[in-house]
Amino acid sequence: MPPFLTGGSKGDYMQEKRNFSRVDFKVSALLQAEGEALKGEVKDVSLHGLYLATDQLLPIGTPVEITIYLSAAVEPVVINVSGTVARLMPGGIGCSFDKMDVDSFAHLRSVISYQGGDESKAMAEFAEFVVAKSKHD
């Protein structure tokens, strides 16, 4: 099982072999769960999840609503995602993504393509994810 699900070190979490490109990306985000709101800074993100630096923690398995702020304008551009707390580390939370709307996906794909430099790879990874998910549902 991957270290981010079983409790490996942060180094293991960042080094482990992934099915999705993970890119460094520093923006503010808000996690909402069980009547709590946690603020933090996204440190890295993929089409499958993110690592949020925060002093507040939630139990593994907690369903969360994630809002990633891409701009600080009066009407900010945001990515809205439903996810699950997958990993706890000192100083942060790893969340996996479960659902997102089409606009949020487009914004996330753009972020990953721009930061990672390869839009075709991001699209191929998403297609693989959709196929794998449809086999499990």
List the CATH number of the domain containing 59: 2.40.10.220
Q: What is the pLDDT of residue 102?
A: 87
Question: Quick check: is 71 in a domain?
Answer: yes
Beta bridge partners of 45: 23, 50
Host domain of residue 119: 3-8+19-136
Q: What is the pLDDT of residue 76?
A: 77
Beta bridge partners of 99: 82
pTM of the full structure:
0.71
Question: Quick check: is 115 in a domain?
Answer: yes
Most confidently modeled range among 19-28, 51-60, 107-116 = 51-60
> How many separate domains does the chain show?
1
**What is the chain's mean pLDDT, rounded?**
77
Question: Quick check: is 13 in a domain?
Answer: no
Question: Quick check: is 127 in a domain?
Answer: yes
DSSP letters, 71-117, are --SSS--EEEEEEEEEEEETTEEEEEEEEE-HHHHHHHHHHHHHHHS
pLDDT band at 12 (very low <50, low <70, confident <90, very high): very low
- Could you report the per-residue pLDDT of 30-88, keeping only the tens digit for each? 999 988 999 999 998 888 899 999 999 899 999 999 999 987 667 778 999 999 999 99
Q: What is the pLDDT of residue 134?
A: 66
Alpha-carbon gap, residue 106 to 85, rounded angstroms: 23
